[in-house]
Amino acid sequence: MNNNCTCSHTRDKFVIVFQELEPHRWQLIEAYGWVSKRHVASHEDNLIQLSGETLRYGLSISPDYTGCPYCTANSIFICGRCHTVNCCDAGATGVLKCAACHTGGRLTNS
């Protein structure tokens, strides 16, 4: 499963790739800029919106995940307002700001 993501620092778009480890358990394994060695021609190609169903079971991040291709942040968060997936550093605290709608908020597990 692929999903679009926005760099929290540069606002550049990129693609994140998830691998299904077992039914309903997905792991973030890699990220690519729009044009990449995977030949992602457009940010619309092969994208699936992260759904409530997917998120209910939780996502994990592979220890081999190298992070955002623009700022190397090694985790993601989903904006509660516009549902944009953004990069962030694991363990980030305080207020995070969505790169798309500029809404700020604290991370929660819901």
Q: What residues does each domain of the chain span?
A: 2-106
Cα–Cα distance for residue pair 30/45, rounded to 1 Å: 16
Segments in the chain below pLDDT 70: 34-55, 108-110
What is the model's pLDDT at position 74?
A: 94
Torsion of CA 49, 33, 108, 90, to 10 degrees: 150
Three-state secondary structure string covering 44-73: CCCECCCCHHHHHCCEEECCCCCCCCCCCC
What is the model's pLDDT at position 37?
A: 47
What is the model's pLDDT at position 105?
A: 87
The pTM score is: 0.78
What is the model's pLDDT at position 109?
A: 62
